Amino acid sequence: MFKQRIKAVYVLIFALLIGYFVYASQVAGTWAGFHPFHLGLDLSGGTHLVYSADVSKMSGDDITSSMASLRDVVERRVNTLGVSEPIVQTQLGGALAGEGNAYKLIVELPGITDADKAAAEIGQTPVLEFRLATAADIKAFQASTTILSQSTTTQALEYIKLFKETGLTGAMVSRASVQFNNTTNAPQVGLQFTSDGAKLFGDITKNNIGNYIGIFLDGALVSAPVVQSEITGGQAQISGSFTLPEVQKVVRDLNFGALPVPISLISTQTIGPSLGQAAVNGGIYAGVVAFIIISIFLVLWYRLPGLVAVVALGVYTALMLALFKMIPVTLSAAGIAGFIITIGMAVDANILIFERMKEELRRGRGISDAMHEGFARAWTSIRDSNISSIITGVILYYFGSTAIITGFALVFVVGVGVSMFTAITASRMFLYAVAPRKTTALSTFLISNGFIK
């Protein structure tokens, strides 16, 4: 009995330390370090974007790899926005697999509330083209700076009609970089072509000395230098009336490449920080109320074992919150709902044990024997029910089509696993530590449950 009480004290102290860690790690600069809860979009506020991916021109074998590539490209673009814990995933919708609108790209950006800006950053694909002048009036221009300085944006877009395609595009750029003109110190875009692009660029410059090469970005003429000589080495510069942020944006977009699958924005949802905080407060309130109601029921109906179950439930809560921080689990409203459900499931195992104990007491067994037998006989039922719940949660997690389902499933599976530990290990240890040694009318009343002898 003494050893059981020492073990119970150790477990209780450990649980208290875990609980204090959960509290202290919410504040930066403490001994526990800064490990805040990772909140999902619906709790922290942000933007939820849904794109339709057009795969109608692709064969079935290419669709999977193209969608994976699309996710990777968009994820790299999202990371440049400075978003914390973004979620980028692809989804097969309810339409038939062969239809173009069946495939979707879902992007969640916590903390970003400017949906238009986010959509522009994600979906915009820079189209870089190198074209040759064909009209005599273009050759009459004195320099590329004259073309650009004397033209409006609309006129710059119209210049594309005066140039012919060469086949050299941004797809043949292996790397872009920010550079500065040695004379004017103006920012410019440095390009390094692929091997195929370098060869094509060399052929174009070799065969068109004295002609203008028009460099077009998204259909607008940004530079039109005269070819002075053959350019080898696969390097080029794009200069013009750029600001440094504009150059940085072009470089970033070129490095990340064009989207492998055409996408179109079909749904936008913005959740403000205040609404997210209200959801957090509501989840906390629901959790506390659930804990209090369950605790009152356990103590009134199951008396001493019920009190032990409440302590074990506190251990369970502390462990779960610590795991949320350390895994880490991105908590959404659905995840909080899953957590609250698992609180009830954690108690369910204790109830099975206590009911088995009551049956053994009715058969005339002593308190110690009734507890041992109650835990032993309830274990198989607890094991089977929890394993079936875990299997269901795993299926939901792997086959769930949205973050709401997968978030709920992850919290649910972790909660069921931890509840098995607290019900079988912590509850039994605490109950053995405080159970009366002698079987009397009072001790039987404290260990039994309900109001029927």
User: Is residue 18's pLDDT more than 80?
Assistant: yes
Contact 44, 334 (CB under 8 A): no
List, for residues 285-310, the tens digit of each pLDDT value: 888 888 888 889 888 888 888 888 88
Q: Are residues 297 and 422 in the same domain?
A: yes
Q: Are residues 112 and 148 in the same domain?
A: no
- 221-230 as b/e, with b when 16 or more CB fall inside 10 Å? bbbbbbbeee
Q: Are residues 293 and 382 in the same domain?
A: yes
Q: What is the CATH number of the domain that holds 394?
A: 1.20.1640.10
Distance CA 37, CA 46 (A): 16
E-state strands within 120-248: 128-133, 163-169, 173-180, 187-193, 213-217, 220-223, 235-238
The count of domains in the chain is 3
Q: Are residues 101 and 165 in the same domain?
A: no
Residues 6+ positions from 30 with CB-CB distance below 8 Å: 24
Of the candidates 447, 292, 259, the residue with the CA atom closest to the CA atom of residue 368: 447
Q: What is the CA radius of gyration of the chain?
A: 33
For residue 100, CA distances in Å to 54, 92, 103, 131, 154 come to: 5, 10, 7, 32, 34
Q: Are residues 121 and 134 in the same domain?
A: no
Q: Are residues 161 and 112 in the same domain?
A: no
Q: Is residue 452 part of a domain?
A: no
Cis geometry, peptide bond prior to residue 328 (ω within 30 degrees of 0) = yes
Q: Is residue 400 part of a domain?
A: yes
Q: Is residue 313 part of a domain?
A: yes
Q: Are residues 289 and 347 in the same domain?
A: yes
Q: Are residues 109 and 135 in the same domain?
A: no
Q: What is the pLDDT of residue 95?
A: 42
Q: What is the CATH number of the domain that holds 228?
A: 3.30.1360.200
Of the candidates 40, 48, 107, the residue with the CA atom closest to the CA atom of residue 324: 40
Q: Are residues 308 and 424 in the same domain?
A: yes
Top mean pLDDT of 84-98, 114-128, 150-164, 360-374 is at 360-374
Structural domain range at position 21: 2-39+272-447
Q: Tell me the three state secondary structure of residue 291.
A: helix
- Helical H runs in 159-272? 195-207, 244-256
Q: Are residues 221 and 266 in the same domain?
A: no
pLDDT above 90 covers a percentage of the chain that reads: 2
Q: Are residues 325 and 376 in the same domain?
A: yes
Of the candidates 238, 234, 232, the residue with the CA atom closest to the CA atom of residue 254: 238
List, for residues 217-273, the tens digit of each pLDDT value: 767 777 777 788 888 888 888 776 678 887 887 777 667 655 667 788 888 888 776
Query: How do 263-271 and 46-53 pair as beta strands?
Result: antiparallel
Last residue of a domain, one of 213, 241, 270: 270
Confidence of residue 143 (pLDDT cuts 50, 70, 90): very low
User: Is residue 94's pLDDT more than 90?
Assistant: no
Q: Is residue 64 part of a domain?
A: yes
Burial of 255 (0-12, 13-18, 19+ CB in 10 A): middle
- Helical H runs in 190-272? 195-207, 244-256
Q: Are residues 224 and 361 in the same domain?
A: no
